[in-house]
Amino acid sequence: MTIVWYVLIHVSLGLIGRDVFHFTNLGALYCIAVSAVVQGYAMWEVHRRSWPMFLANLDGGAPPGAATAARRGYWNRLGRVFIFRVSAFGILTLLIAFLVRGAGS
């Protein structure tokens, strides 16, 4: 259900920023910056819920090297999900702004 809220947020951002978000370098950077802020909060929510469970599973007596590798893997996966979400929702925001502006504008 939370994905629906984030879709609605980015549709709203596309509607509000239709004059700013263009398929140009600067417009795309603005769109990606706004998407990164919104998805940064989403990733913080994911981290807040998953980190205690991750640490509880890690307390099983794993060797120190394995624990370090597991933590590095956790942050790498979280970073990849963040980049994917910023890209996907940024494209959605650009597309909505383009559709609201009209193809001729």
Q: What is the pTM of this model?
A: 0.86
* Neighbouring C-beta atoms of residue 69, cutoff 10 Å: 12
Predicted confidence at residue 45, as pLDDT, reads 95
DSSP 62: -
User: Average pLDDT of the chain?
Assistant: 91
What pLDDT digit, counting tens, does each position of 33-62 carry?
999 999 999 999 999 999 999 988 888 777
Tokens 């802020």 found at: 37
* Contact indicator for 94, 23 with CB cutoff of 8 Å: yes
